[in-house]
Chains A and B, each alone.
Chain A
Amino acid sequence: MRVVVWVREIPDTRDLIGEILGQDSMPKWDDWDTRIDPEDLNSLEMALQWKDRDPRLEVTAVSVGEPKKLDVLRECLYRGVDQVVRLSGEGQPQDLLWEARLLAGAVRRLDAQVVFTGVQLNETECGHKGVFLAHALGWPVATYVEALEQGELGGPMKLRRAVEQGVELVEATPPLVISVGVALLKDDPRAPRSARAKLKLQHKKTQIPQWQIQELGSFLEQRSGGGTRILAFRSQPQRDFPARRVDGSSQAELKAMVDELRNQGLVR
C-alpha cells in the first residue's frame, strides 16, 4: 500500500532579528532562512514509524514548488522515504485550496490510500491543510492525530486524537487523510528522527522527479483557487513597559510601591 506525506518549506521564524518587513510592508522572505515545517516532520515520522512496523508500506513525500533555500524532499529522502515527487506550481495562484487540489491530483496519480500532513499553523490557513486536502479528494479526515494505535494494511485504522478534554480513539478505514497534531515533547514517541548520515551520502545528488500541473488530471478544470490574497503585513510595535527598581531593604519604598499599585487598582 502506498501512503503520501505532504511536506512544505516554511520561513524559519526562530531568532528573527532586525527589520523583518521591507518597504512594501511585506516580509523579506529572501533574507530569512527556511526549514521543513516542524509539523510536517511529525507527520513524516508517523508514516515512517508505520513503515518500520510494516515494510510492505511504501512512503512517498510530495511537495509543491521549487525549493527556496532548503530542499524538503531531499530532507525526506535523508530520513528514509521510498520516493519523492515535486509538483511544479509555477504561474498559478498559490493559496491553500489551490495547493490542496494540486496535491489531490498527485495522490490520485500515485494511487495512494492514506495521506499524512502536518497541522500547518500559519495565519491564513488555520490548521486546515489536511481538511482542504480531504475535501479536494472527497475523503474523510482525522485531525489532531497524535498516535497510530493500529494500522493493518487495507484494514481499519485506530487513531488516537488529542482533544480538549483528553484523548479519543477513532476508527477509520482508508482512503483517509491524517492530520498530525501539535505539541512535540522531547519524550513524545513522534519526536521526529534526524537525518541519517548514510542516506545523506546516498541521496546528495539524487534526481528528484517533477510533475507538471498538466499531468495531474482534471485539476485545471476546477476553479483556480480559493481567492485568498495577502495584501500586506503589519509589524506590531513592541509595547514599552517602563521598569523601576525598588530597594527591597527599605520598608518605606516597599510601602510606597504597594500604595501606588493599590491606587492603580492592580492589587487589593
Chain B
Amino acid sequence: MASQNFYLDNEDLRFQVEKRVDWRSILEARGDLGHPGCAYDSLEEAVETFRDLLTDPVGTLAAERIAPRAAEIDKEGCRLEQGRVVLPKAMEQNLRDLAEADLMGMTLPPGYGGLGFPTTLYTAATEIVSRADVSLMNLFGLQGIAETIAKFGDEELKKRYVPLFARGEATGAMVLTEPDAGSDLMAIQTRALEDPSVPGGWKIRGVKRFITNGCGDILLVLARSEDPERFSGARGLSLFLVEKGAGVKVRRVEEKMGIHGSPTCELYFDDAPAFLIGRRGRGLTQYVNWLMNAARLGVAAQCLGIGEAAYREALSYAREREQFGSRIIEFPPVAEMLVEIKTTLEAMRSLVYRTAEAVDLDEALGARLDLMDRKDPQYAQVKKKRDMAAQTAELLTPMAKFYTSEASIRITNLALQVHGGNGYMRDYPVERLYRDARITNIYEGTSQMQVDRAMAKITKGVLEDVLETHSSRVYESPGLRSLSQELGEAKKIFMDCLDALRSQRGLESKTPEQWSGLRSLFARRLTEMGAELLMGYLLLEEGELWERKVSVASHFIGEAVSRVHMHAHVIQRGAAVPIRQAREILFEAS
C-alpha cells in the first residue's frame, strides 16, 4: 500500500529530527528557548511542534496529494503560450495546497506573515516535498528568495513583497545566469541604469538564460550597475528586485531532460523598472552569495528526497520481482546495490542536517551579535562561537551540495539497475527520478565549482578543525572503537596528502603554476575524502544513539576508507603536469 505519510514512514529522517539535531543550541541561539515569553517552554515542546508539523501538513500533503501527481506533471511539462508560461495543472494544485497549509514562508519572519522556523526544519520539509515531486522543490525550496529581501532589502520592499511570498501569492526567481556567464558570474553583462523617472529608480536591460521559474512574479536580478572602467568584475554588480510586467519578456521555455514541472526560462529585460536591494556593488559578493548558499542547501535536501524515493522504488521492486525462482533481493549482487544506496543515503542525510545546523547557528549568532554592545563581557564568546559556525557552514554547504548531488545520481542509477529492463521504461517512477537527479550537480553551481569553494576552506584548515571535534571522541563499545581507529588511520593518510599539496613538498616539485594546477586537479579527490571521513565519524556518533547505525557505519566506513587509500595513491603518485599530459592524450596528431 502506498505510504500515507512521508514523514512518519521515514525512520532515518525521524531519527535526525527527533533525536540527532542539536535543537537546544539552535533555539537558544535564536532566543526561542530558555527565557520567559519565548516561543517554546521546553526543548521537548519545540521538538514535538516540529514533529507535529512535519507529520501534518508536510508529510500528509506530500504522500496523499503531491506524490500521486508527479507522473502527470512530468508528462505534461511547462510550455510557452503567447509569451506566457503555462505550468502543468497539477503543479498549480501543488502550489495551492502548499500555500493553503501556510508552508510557503517557513523561514520568513513572523512579522511579515512567515512562520519564522529554523533552516534545519525547512530543510527537512524540503526533503519530504522533493521525495514527492523533485521539480516542486524548485518552487517550494526557493524561499531563500523572499528571505533575501527580508534580510537585505529596505523596510518598504520588505513590507510590500515578503508577505506576498509568505501567503503563497507570489513566487520568485534568482535571475543570475546569462548566455556567456554561467559559472563565471563576474562576467555578467546585463546592465542596470539609474533613471529617477521609473518606479524604483533603476531600469534593467539584457538577456538572462536558464532561469528556474523565470516566469515568477518577483525576480531578483543580478546586473551591472557600475561603470565597468572603474569597477570591473564582481565589484560592479548589484542586486535588483524586478516585478513581472511589460518590461520582462519570457522568450523561451527550455525543453529539459528532467524536472519537467519546473519552468526554465530565457528572459529579455527591456528597460524593466527595478528596485535596488541593499548597497551598490554588493550584489554578488554579499547578497547573491548568501542566496546561493541557501539554495545549495536546498539542492542538497532535494538530493535526499530523490535518494529516498529511488531507494523505496528499488527496495519494493526487489522484494516483489522473482527470477530463477527467488525474489531478486535474495541475490547478493542485488542486495549489495540496495545496501550501497541505503548507507550512502543515511550518510548524506547526516551531512546535510549537520550543514543545516551550522547555517542556523551562524545566522542566529550573527543576528545576536548585531544587537550586542561590543563592550558586553559575553561579546567575545558569542563572536567566537559564531565565527566557528560560519566557517563550518561555509565549508559544509559546498561540500554537502557536491557530495549529495553526485550521490543522488549514483543512487538513481543503481535503483534503475535493480529494476533491470523495467527501470528503463516510463511505466516505472525510477526512470523519472534518474532524469530528475541529473541536474543536481549542475545547477546552483556545478560540482566543480562547489569543490573549488570547499577546497579553499579545506586548505585553510577548517576541515581539520571540524574533523577534530568528531574524531577525538572516545567510544565505550569495542565495535565503535575499532571503526573509529580505522577512520583515524585514514584521516592521517588524508592529512598527509593535504599537507603535501599545501607545503608543495613530497611530490615532484614544479613551478607555482604547476602546483596550482595540481591543487585544482586533486581538489575533487580531497573534498570527497574529507566528506566521507566526516560522514564516517557522524555515523559512528549515531551508532551510540541507535543500534542499527553501527552496521550502517561499518559498511560505509569500510567502503570510504578503501576510497581514501585509492585517492591517496593517485595523489601521491603526483600525476605529471596535467595540462601537458592532457594535450598529449587529447590531440593525437600534435
> A residues near B, CB below 8 A?
14-15, 78, 186, 191, 193-201, 204
B68, CB-defined interface residue at 8 Å: yes
What CA separation (Å) do A14 and B2 show in the bound complex? 11
What CA separation (Å) do A7 and B407 show in the bound complex? 46
A57 CB to nearest B CB, Å: 19
- Verify A195–B56 contact, CB threshold 8 A: yes
- Verify B52–A204 contact, CB threshold 8 A: yes
**Nearest neighbor of B97 in chain A, beta-carbon distance:** A194
For A204, the chain B residues whose CB sits under 8 A away are 49, 52
- Verify A195–B101 contact, CB threshold 8 A: yes
| Further pairs besides A194-B61, A196-B57, A197-B106: 17, Cβ < 8 Å | A14-B4, A78-B56, A186-B68, A193-B101, A194-B56, A194-B60, A194-B97, A194-B100, A196-B102, A197-B115, A198-B115, A200-B49, A200-B52, A200-B53, A201-B49, A204-B49, A204-B52
- Verify A186–B53 contact, CB threshold 8 A: no
B162 CB to nearest A CB, Å: 15
- Verify A197–B49 contact, CB threshold 8 A: no
What CA separation (Å) do A215 and B310 show in the bound complex? 57
For A195, the chain B residues whose CB sits under 8 A away are 56-57, 60, 101
B65, CB-defined interface residue at 8 Å: yes
Indicate which residue in A186, A197, A199 contacts B103 across the interface (CB closer than 8 Å). Answer: A197
What CA separation (Å) do A15 and B4 show in the bound complex? 10
- Verify B1–A14 contact, CB threshold 8 A: yes
For A197, the chain B residues whose CB sits under 8 A away are 53, 57, 101-103, 106, 115
**Nearest neighbor of B114 in chain A, beta-carbon distance:** A198
What CA separation (Å) do A200 and B60 show in the bound complex? 14
For B53, the chain A residues whose CB sits under 8 A away are 197, 200
Could you list some 16 contacts between A and B, CB below 8 A? A14-B4, A15-B1, A186-B65, A193-B100, A194-B61, A194-B101, A195-B57, A195-B101, A196-B57, A196-B101, A197-B57, A197-B101, A197-B103, A197-B115, A199-B102, A204-B49
What CA separation (Å) do A198 and B68 show in the bound complex? 26
What CA separation (Å) do A201 and B65 show in the bound complex? 23
A203 CB to nearest B CB, Å: 11
- Verify B115–A194 contact, CB threshold 8 A: no
What CA separation (Å) do A193 and B433 show in the bound complex? 28
B142 CB to nearest A CB, Å: 18
What CA separation (Å) do A196 and B58 show in the bound complex? 10
For A196, the chain B residues whose CB sits under 8 A away are 57, 100-102
List residues 56-79 of chain B with CB under 8 A from any CB of chain A. 56-57, 60-61, 65, 68
For B101, the chain A residues whose CB sits under 8 A away are 193-197
What CA separation (Å) do A198 and B65 show in the bound complex? 20
- Verify A201–B60 contact, CB threshold 8 A: no
- Verify A201–B115 contact, CB threshold 8 A: yes
For B49, the chain A residues whose CB sits under 8 A away are 200-201, 204
**Nearest neighbor of A191 in chain B, beta-carbon distance:** B65
Closest 7 CB pairs of A and B: A194-B57, A197-B102, A198-B102, A195-B56, A196-B102, A195-B57, A194-B101
Interface size class of B (residues with CB under 8 A): 10 to 19
B585 CB to nearest A CB, Å: 51
For B60, the chain A residues whose CB sits under 8 A away are 194-195
- Most A Cβ at <10 Å: residue of B1, B97, B102, B106: B102
For B65, the chain A residues whose CB sits under 8 A away are 186, 191
- Most B Cβ at <10 Å: residue of A78, A193, A194, A196: A194
What CA separation (Å) do A195 and B1 show in the bound complex? 23
**Nearest neighbor of A196 in chain B, beta-carbon distance:** B102
B106-125 CB mask vs A (1 if < 8 Å, else 0) is 10000000010000000000
B126 CB to nearest A CB, Å: 15
**Nearest neighbor of B45 in chain A, beta-carbon distance:** A204
For A194, the chain B residues whose CB sits under 8 A away are 56-57, 60-61, 97, 100-101
What CA separation (Å) do A198 and B57 show in the bound complex? 11
**Nearest neighbor of A194 in chain B, beta-carbon distance:** B57
A112 CB to nearest B CB, Å: 26
For B100, the chain A residues whose CB sits under 8 A away are 193-194, 196
**Nearest neighbor of B1 in chain A, beta-carbon distance:** A15
What CA separation (Å) do A148 and B152 show in the bound complex? 48
**Nearest neighbor of B56 in chain A, beta-carbon distance:** A195
**Nearest neighbor of B117 in chain A, beta-carbon distance:** A197
List residues 1-54 of chain B with CB under 8 A from any CB of chain A. 1, 4, 49, 52-53
What CA separation (Å) do A194 and B99 show in the bound complex? 11
What CA separation (Å) do A211 and B546 show in the bound complex? 45
For B115, the chain A residues whose CB sits under 8 A away are 197-198, 201
- Most A Cβ at <10 Å: residue of B1, B53, B106: B53
A171 CB to nearest B CB, Å: 31
For A193, the chain B residues whose CB sits under 8 A away are 100-101
**Nearest neighbor of B166 in chain A, beta-carbon distance:** A198
**Nearest neighbor of B52 in chain A, beta-carbon distance:** A200
List residues 105-149 of chain B with CB under 8 A from any CB of chain A. 106, 115
B430 CB to nearest A CB, Å: 23
What CA separation (Å) do A194 and B58 show in the bound complex? 9
A186 CB to nearest B CB, Å: 6
B307 CB to nearest A CB, Å: 24
What CA separation (Å) do A194 and B63 show in the bound complex? 12
B70 CB to nearest A CB, Å: 13
**Nearest neighbor of A204 in chain B, beta-carbon distance:** B49
**Nearest neighbor of A75 in chain B, beta-carbon distance:** B56
What CA separation (Å) do A202 and B85 show in the bound complex? 37
What CA separation (Å) do A201 and B49 show in the bound complex? 8
What CA separation (Å) do A195 and B115 show in the bound complex? 14
For B52, the chain A residues whose CB sits under 8 A away are 200, 204
What CA separation (Å) do A198 and B104 show in the bound complex? 11
What CA separation (Å) do A200 and B100 show in the bound complex? 13
What CA separation (Å) do A195 and B103 show in the bound complex? 11
What CA separation (Å) do A195 and B106 show in the bound complex? 15
For A191, the chain B residues whose CB sits under 8 A away are 65
B72 CB to nearest A CB, Å: 11
List residues 393-438 of chain B with CB under 8 A from any CB of chain A. none
A179 CB to nearest B CB, Å: 24
For A199, the chain B residues whose CB sits under 8 A away are 102
For A198, the chain B residues whose CB sits under 8 A away are 102, 115
B437-470 CB mask vs A (1 if < 8 Å, else 0) is 0000000000000000000000000000000000
What CA separation (Å) do A193 and B102 show in the bound complex? 12
For A186, the chain B residues whose CB sits under 8 A away are 65, 68
What CA separation (Å) do A78 and B68 show in the bound complex? 24
What CA separation (Å) do A194 and B61 show in the bound complex? 7
What CA separation (Å) do A184 and B580 show in the bound complex? 67
